[in-house]
């Protein structure tokens, strides 16, 4: 078996390959004596290229290969690199490859979001049920979520921004704002019904009364993040996806909340006088 051993000699013994060849080592001789012989008698001395530094992690050697992604999203760049490496690169036996760095962080964040987002939606549903005491009203309030998602997705497509963890956080913020406005509409409708107004009149009156609050909520959220959505400077790639999702989502949210939600309420709400 061959074991790679790395030795670093003192400066006076490694001035040249010849100096290393002439190093004396002790070899066993007759009658227990030790004979000094040159290293070149038992080893092949040659000058080869090698690693300047050997990296180790978890008791394994590794060779880092780094590159940056410009003017495209990280996910597609990594997928293309993985496909080309699978076709053209043959790893030596005993070696394996790991994709880490920003891509590894992205994968970890996506796995966490796959748990956090359903839990967040479930908590929103529970709080809505406690607020309204009706499963129908809870589902009506949550019906604005998929409609609000459409605005965020449209903004990403128009701006050419790739989906990322920042964009996912923007969608979560969008969910909260849309549901909050949905609560405003539903609460107003239920109050008018309890006061004795008929359903269609209550739907129209709700839109009249809550037009300004809904528009103000959406405008404040959209305008506040508009500079971040339009930024192009250093570091904008982190905050821009979140801002684009919220701004475009808030542009379409008033239509969803003031037009679509009242129509759904008029069809499915079970509130009575």
- Average pLDDT rounded to a whole number, residues 65-82: 83
Say what the pLDDT of residue 84 is: 93
Q: What confidence score (pLDDT) does residue 235 get?
A: 67
Mean pLDDT of 258-267: 86
170 burial (CB, 10 Å; 0-12 / 13-18 / 19+) is buried
What pLDDT shows up at residue 72?
76
The answer to whether residue 169 scores a pLDDT higher than 90 is no
Does the structure show a pLDDT above 80 at 73?
Answer: no
pLDDT band at 83 (very low <50, low <70, confident <90, very high): very high
Long-range contacts, 226-230 (Cβ 8 Å, 24+)? 229/159
For 74-140, the three-class secondary structure string (H helix, E strand, C coil) is HHHHHHHHHHHHHHHCCCCCCCCCCCCCHHHHHHHHHHHHHHHHHHHHHHHHHHHHHHHCCHHHHHH
Mean pLDDT computed over every residue of the chain: 85
Which residue has tokens 């994709």? 99
Return the residue matching tokens 């809505």: 128
- What is residue 161's predicted lDDT score, i.e. its pLDDT? 79
3-state helix, strand, coil split of the chain in percent (to 5) is 65, 5, 30
Q: Nearest CA to 246 among 156, 173, 159?
A: 173
Return d(Cα 149, Cα 173) in angstroms, integer: 11
**pLDDT, mean of residues 141-155:** 85
**Does residue 87 surpass a pLDDT of 90?**
yes
Q: Is the pLDDT of residue 271 over 80?
A: no
* CATH T-level topology, domain 102-268: Multidrug efflux transporter AcrB transmembrane fold (1.20.1640)
Mean pLDDT for the stretch of residues 49-69: 83
Model confidence pLDDT, tens digit, residues 3-30: 878 788 898 888 888 889 999 988 888 8
What pLDDT score does 85 carry?
92
Per-residue pLDDT at 33 exceeds 70: yes
pLDDT tier for residue 88 given thresholds of 50, 70 and 90: very high
Q: Is the pLDDT of residue 148 over 90?
A: no
pLDDT tens digits for 182-192?
Answer: 898 988 998 89
pLDDT at 86 over 70: yes
pLDDT tens string 92-147: 888 889 888 888 887 888 888 888 888 888 998 898 898 888 888 888 888 888 87
For the chain, give every domain's residue range: 1-48, 102-268
Residue whose token pair is 């908590």: 123
């Amino acid at each position: 078996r061959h074991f790679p051993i790395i030795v670093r000699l003192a400066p006076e013994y490694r001035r040249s390959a010849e100096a290393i060849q002439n190093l004396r080592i002790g070899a066993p001789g007759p009658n227990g004596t030790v004979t000094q012989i040159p290293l070149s008698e038992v080893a092949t001395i040659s000058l080869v290229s090698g690693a300047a530094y050997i990296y180790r992690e978890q008791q394994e050697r590794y060779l880092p290969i780094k590159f940056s992604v410009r003017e495209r999203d990280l996910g597609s760049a990594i997928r293309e690199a993985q496909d080309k490496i699978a076709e053209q690169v043959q790893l030596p036996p005993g070696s394996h490859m790991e994709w880490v760095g920003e891509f590894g962080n992205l994968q970890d964040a996506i796995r966490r979001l796959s748990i956090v987002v359903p839990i967040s939606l479930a908590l929103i549903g529970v709080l809505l049920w406690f607020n309204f005491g009706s499963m129908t009203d809870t589902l009506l309030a949550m019906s604005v979520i998929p409609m609000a998602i459409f605005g965020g997705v449209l903004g990403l497509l128009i701006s050419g921004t790739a989906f990322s963890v920042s964009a996912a956080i923007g969608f979560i913020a969008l969910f909260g704002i849309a549901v909050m406005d949905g609560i405003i509409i539903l609460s107003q409708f239920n109050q008018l019904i309890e006061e004795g107004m008929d359903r269609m009149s209550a739907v129209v009156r709700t839109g009249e009364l809550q037009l300004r609050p809904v528009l103000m909520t959406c405008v404040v959220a959209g305008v506040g993040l508009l500079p971040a959505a339009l930024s192009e400077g250093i570091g904008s790639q982190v905050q821009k996806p979140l801002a684009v999702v919220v701004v475009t989502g808030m542009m379409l949210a008033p239509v969803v909340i003031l037009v679509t939600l009242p129509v759904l309420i008029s069809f499915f709400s079970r509130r009575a006088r």
